Structures are given as C-alpha cells and as structure tokens.
Structure 1
Amino acid sequence: MVASAVLALSAAGCGGKKASTGGDGGGDGKKSLKVGLAYDVGGRGDKSFNDAAYAGLQKVQSDLKLDVKDIEAKEGESDNDKIQRLQLLAQSGYNPVIAVGFVYATALGKVAPKFPNTKFAIIDDNSVQQANVSDLLFAEQEGSYLVGAAAAKKSKTGNIGFIGGVETPLIKKFEAGYVAGAKKVNPSVKIQIKYISQPPDFGGFKDPAKGKTIAQGMYDQGADVVYAAAGLSGTGSLQAATSQKKWFIGVDSDQYQTASADQKPYVLTSMLKRVDTAVFNFVKDVGDNKFQKGDQRFSLKNDGVDYSKSNPSALGDLSATLDDLKQQIVSGKITPPEK
C-alpha cells in the first residue's frame, strides 16, 4: 500500500558545520548523508501528495548533488511492515529518515526512541513527540479557502463539488477551508461533498476509477467546478472534468503541469501544499546541523501552501480576488476553519 524510497545521499555543500571525512581540497571536510524516505498511499506517480515529496527530493539531488535510490513497498502492508522498514533504514545508517504521511505515526512512535541518534521527520502528524523527530505540518485549510473562493467565483451554476480521498481529520481540513472560501464569495453556493473511502480503508487515495465516477455524478447533478483532495484518485476526477468540459481543481502538486494536453484547459487551479519545500528544508537543516524537533508549520505566511496560477486564461481576473483574500489570511483578518 505504501511505496518507499531510499535515497543514498552523499552531499558536499550542505553548509554549516561538517564532519571531516578527509581532504577535499576545500579546507573543511564533506558531510555524507544517507537519507531514507517512505512514500504514502498511492506512491510516487500520484501527481499529487507523493509527487510533491519527490519534487523535494529532486531539488535535494540537483541543489545538494545527492544520489537517489527508490525501494518499492508492498500492497496492503501493516504497521508492522512500516516499523520494519523504518527500522531497517535506521539500522543501515540512513539519517535522516522521512516518513511521508500520517499513516507512519504508529510505526515512527515505536522506531524513533530506539534510534536516538537518527533524525526523523513525519509529514502531516504531530502525535510523535520525540527529541529526534520533526513534525512537518501544513495549513491545508488556508490554501483550500483560496481555491474554494475560486470555485464559487468561477461557477456559473452556483453548484460546486468537493471529493475527499479518505474521511480523516486531515482531509476534513481541506473540506472546511474549501467550503468557507466558497461561501465567502457566494453565501448561497451549493456544495456537493463526497468521500471515496472511510478509515481504516485508505484505498480512496489511489482509486482513479471511483474518483472519476464521483466527479461524473457531481457534474451530472449541476456542479461545474470540482476540487479533488484525493491523491491519485484525483486523476480520475480530472478525466471526468475533461469529458464533461467542466472545471477541475487539483491538490498538493500543480496538477496543470502533469495534465495531458486535452486536460489542461479544464484545470482551473491547484491547492499547492509545499511538501517539496518541507522535504528539502528538512534535509538541508540536518546537513547544516540545524535540526529542529517538534512542530514545523507551513502556511500561506511562509509559502507552505498557496494556489497555482499556471492556467491564467482560466483564472482570468480571479487572481486579484484570491490574492486579496490571501493577504487577509496572512494578516490575520481572515482565519479559515480547520473543521
């Protein structure tokens, strides 16, 4: 269920204090990092959450000259499988280790205390409070508020949709922000809300067929804009939007960039969740001996979330409205709800 990547990263140029490994002609030695990363449900290639993490690793590779190696996980794995993977990475000298997604919380809670000298990061969870764990958290409701406003403003029917992959507290944050943003610009807007699966079934993040069927149903019932916070399943929702010539809003990554030529005209915007920034900054901070334990929060204020402007012909003058709302959120005048 969870695809994993192990990245053997040997970096010179991480900056800061470096461990000496012999002469490199530069006066202070190179620091070697071996970084392990485990993807969330859907794995790499979901064009969404996991691919945002991968983009961060690509930046690590290009900017810090580090090598990347992927290891796939198996279908339907348990917490014990995750424990064994994180343990294996730590035992093999991978440090730091990044767990992409809250599904790793239980496993990390058991593994991190056993390896106090290994630095860990987990995305979307802060239940693991350990001296060697950094919790990378996002204000998803803020970015979702902006795309909700975009949806309601763009809609000609006054009817929009929200598709969540799995009904968890995390995805409810996306929903809450989206609904609030939509109602800000159109208090009478109708919002269709559906989730693909319920915990403990996390298959809703990797079921494009169901994502397509649900979006199709929303369009059939009058929606002309649908926001899919559903990982890989969102690719199916985009297919439905394209066939119906309706609007689609992507999530996490800029899904206009990975859409096919026939799909691009229907991608209104995407809610950007900068997992790439979080991954890169974490690795760089470890290399710079600037590791921080506990909550690290990414919001509109520090460019941790945003909305994409890759399709200006679709957004039109909406950008001015959204940028104004963005500034009101940053200044504290508007506080999007989390639930």
Structure 2
Amino acid sequence: MRRVSKIAAACTVSAALAFTATACGEASTESTGSDSDQMKIGMAYDVGGRGDNSFNDSAARGLDKAKAEFDAETKELTAKSGETPADREQRLASLAEGGYNPVIGVGFAYSDAIAKVAKSHPDTTFGLIDSVSDAKNVSSIVFTEEQGSYLAGVAAALKSKDGQVGFIGGVDLPLIKKFAAGFQQGVTETNPKAKVQIQYLSTGSDLSGFGSPDKGEAAAKGMLDKGADVIFAAAGGSGAGAIEAVAGKKGAWSIGVDSDQAKDPALSKYADTIMTSVVKNVDSGVFDLVKSVKDGKPMTGTQTYSLAEDGVSLTTTGDHLKDVQAKIDEAKKKIVDGSIKVKTTT
C-alpha cells in the first residue's frame, strides 16, 4: 500500500474536475454471488461516471482492482446534471442501507451528503474524494494537485517557444485554483520572463465550465490567438475541447488532467500534441480505503496523497518530455525535500 500521510486539520475544500451539479443517478449493479460474507463496495460517481476517461475513471480503476482482489460485489451509481442535495443523500443512503461497505462518494459535491448520511449509518465506512469531512466514520481522500501542476508548469516553460502559455480552469473554485497556482509558479520559476494567461470557464455556482467542450475549445482558441503555444486545461469534460483546439495549431502543446488523456480513446488521435497529463491517482485512494475495510481496520480522518507518494504525477506517454525530463525530476526532488514550497492560490 502506498504510504499516506494523515493530517488532523481540515485542508482546502477540493472540487472534482468532473464536478457534480447533478440529477437522480443511474445505477449499474454488478453482483458476483450471494455469499453473505462477500464484501460489498458502493460507488457514487460524479457527473460523467464510469467512462469519462478522466476523474471518475480513475476511481473506477481502483474499484475494479478491489473487486478482483477481494472477490467483492459492487454497485455503481452515477450523478446527473441538475440534481438536488437530497438526491445525493438518497444515493449514498441507498448504498449504505443495501449493506455496501465502504460507500465512496467521488467528488467534493458529496461532502454535505456524506456528512448527513454517515451520521445516520455509523457502522458504515464512507470515502469522500477531493474534500474533507470530520465525521468519525469517513475517510477523506485528498491530493496535492498544486505539486503535479508545478511540474507541468516546468515542462510548459521549457517546451514553449516564447514563454506564452495558458491555463484553463473549469470553474473558479478552490481546487481548480490549486491547479492554476501550481502551474503558474512552475512556469515563472522556470522562466521568469514567461507569461501565463489564466481563464475560468464559469464562476461561482455555475458549474457548466466542467462539462462544456465548446467553452474549452473557444477559450483555447482565444489563448492560441494571443500567442500561447502550451495550454493546460483543468476543466473536466471541457478540457477535451481545449485539447482539440490545440491540436489544430501547428507547434502547440496541450496538457491533460486527472487521467492519461493521450490514452483516452476519444482523444488518442490528438496524442501527438498532448505533451503530458497531470494525473491524480484516485484509484490508489479508493483501493487503499477498500483494503483497510477488508482488513478490519477502516481508514478514517484525512489521507493526503502527495507527490512524494506518487499521489500526483506527470505522464510520459509519447516521450514528449524526454528532452526536459531531467529538469522535471530536479524540480520534483526539490518539492519532495521541501526546497520548493508550492502555492495553493495565485
């Protein structure tokens, strides 16, 4: 199991990149038997669910690994746009009442719902990804997104021809600002003359910025027109539009997020222009939690997956980073040993 640091203080409320603004969920139930002793794992996905080739799919990989290793029964529910807080609560409660343990909420939008449902189901262990709960039977699984983004900034600064780069955030929420802050710091500390354009696709309670590829495409085209030749999009489904736009500009690079987007079947045709992706290993957090429940020692409190534990990383698909890998590795070492302190706000 990957080493995980536990912290007592609540950290910045995180936001799933494929954010939940959702409606009544759809269920996909898989049962592998009727043994009453069989482990049952419940998963409540964010918008997009399994198959989004990004945030949710990373969680799904952890679920699949646990299912195979522990011969577990699983049930998966997926959120949709427009749902109410009560819908999220009902989704989690239905899993807990069905005997699923642990029950995992993928994305910070489940934080309020888990706080309520965990209290009424004290014998169930809940997992909350990308946010922090102080409930005694909840394991909060969070990541140092800013550290992975710093490394992406180093790469962007070194690969850009004239130091003009861009960052597209889905919504101006704390988590997305962590991505922006780390990226900007990595760029400017590598090339002090570089300029970083930062744009958010929506603000406040308007969550459309996480699911609008057309907005991502338009934002990327605007940045390209202003001279940017490397664009990092931390914008959920909207990022696909940015990646497509960048692919249409000769000599430009895009940077993906959450999963290795160069391997995304829907985006693989753009793999030659996807420089790297900032990956959050949500699958590790999911598997670690399930294993702890299986072992009879459920994780609770906050589990922080950092760069030191490979909780965040840069992908190397296509070998696009090979000419700058040494400098990226040097920056990683400095972050891990504390020589570089990465900011979480711009």
- Specify the alignment match of 2:244 in structure 1: 239
Kindly name which structure, 1 or 2, has the bigger radius of gyration based on alpha carbons: 1
With structure 2 as the length reference, what TM-score do the two structures score?
0.88
Alignment partners' CA distance in 2, 1:42 and 1:191: 30
Alignment partners' CA distance in 2, 1:72 and 1:318: 40
| Contact 2:48/2:80, CA 8 A, preserved across alignment | no
- Specify the alignment match of 2:179 in structure 1: 174
| Contact 1:6/1:35, CA 8 A, preserved across alignment | no
Alignment pair present for 1:211 and 2:243: no
The amino acid of 2:181's aligned partner reads: A
Q: Percent identity?
A: 46
| Contact 1:10/1:31, CA 8 A, preserved across alignment | no
- Specify the alignment match of 2:47 in structure 1: 41
With structure 1 as the length reference, what TM-score do the two structures score?
0.89
CA shift, 1:157, in A, is 2.1
Alignment pair present for 1:276 and 2:268: no
| Contact 1:8/1:34, CA 8 A, preserved across alignment | no
- Specify the alignment match of 1:228 in structure 2: 233
SS in 1 for 2:326: helix
SS in 2 for 1:244: coil
Aligned equivalent of 1:306, options 299, 304, 313: 313
CA shift, 1:88, in A, is 1.3
Aligned equivalent of 1:147, options 125, 149, 152: 152
CA shift, 1:89, in A, is 1.2
- Specify the alignment match of 1:164 in structure 2: 169
Which consecutive residues of structure 1, in runs of 5 or more, have no partner in the other structure?
A: 12-20, 22-29
Alignment partners' CA distance in 2, 1:111 and 1:96: 13
Classify 1:304/1:142 alpha carbon distance in 2 versus 1 (closer, same or farther; 3 Å).
same
| Contact 2:45/2:77, CA 8 A, preserved across alignment | no
Alignment partners' CA distance in 1, 2:273 and 2:209: 23
CA shift, 1:316, in A, is 2.6
| Contact 1:7/1:35, CA 8 A, preserved across alignment | no
CA shift, 1:32, in A, is 1.9
The CA RMSD measured in Å over matched residues stands at: 1.9
Moved more, 257-266 or 64-73: 64-73
Alignment partners' CA distance in 2, 1:199 and 1:4: 27
CA shift, 1:50, in A, is 1.2
Aligned equivalent of 1:121, options 104, 123, 127: 127
| Contact 1:141/1:178, CA 8 A, preserved across alignment | yes
Classify 1:4/1:56 alpha carbon distance in 2 versus 1 (closer, same or farther; 3 Å).
farther
CA shift, 1:67, in A, is 4.3
Detail structure 1 runs of 4+ shifted over 6 Å in the superposition: none
| Contact 1:7/1:34, CA 8 A, preserved across alignment | no
Alignment partners' CA distance in 2, 1:252 and 1:156: 26
Aligned residue pair count = 320
SS in 2 for 1:62: helix
Alignment partners' CA distance in 1, 2:127 and 2:120: 15
Which consecutive residues of structure 2, in runs of 5 or more, have no partner in the other structure?
A: 1-20
- Specify the alignment match of 2:298 in structure 1: 291
- Specify the alignment match of 1:25 in structure 2: none
| Contact 2:45/2:76, CA 8 A, preserved across alignment | no
Alignment partners' CA distance in 2, 1:9 and 1:117: 22
Classify 1:198/1:296 alpha carbon distance in 2 versus 1 (closer, same or farther; 3 Å).
same
Moved more, 199-208 or 166-175: 199-208
Q: Over residues 91-122 of structure 1, what are the superposed CA-to-partner deviations in whole Å (9 max), with x where a residue is unaligned?
A: 11111100011111111111110000000010
Alignment partners' CA distance in 2, 1:184 and 1:35: 44
| Contact 1:147/1:307, CA 8 A, preserved across alignment | yes
Alignment pair present for 1:318 and 2:321: no
Q: Over residues 158-197 of structure 1, what are the superposed CA-to-partner deviations in whole Å (9 max), with x where a residue is unaligned?
A: 1000011111111111111001111111011111101111
Alignment partners' CA distance in 1, 2:288 and 2:31: 15
Aligned equivalent of 1:255, options 238, 247, 261: 261
| Contact 1:41/1:202, CA 8 A, preserved across alignment | no
| Contact 1:141/1:338, CA 8 A, preserved across alignment | yes
Alignment partners' CA distance in 1, 2:158 and 2:104: 38
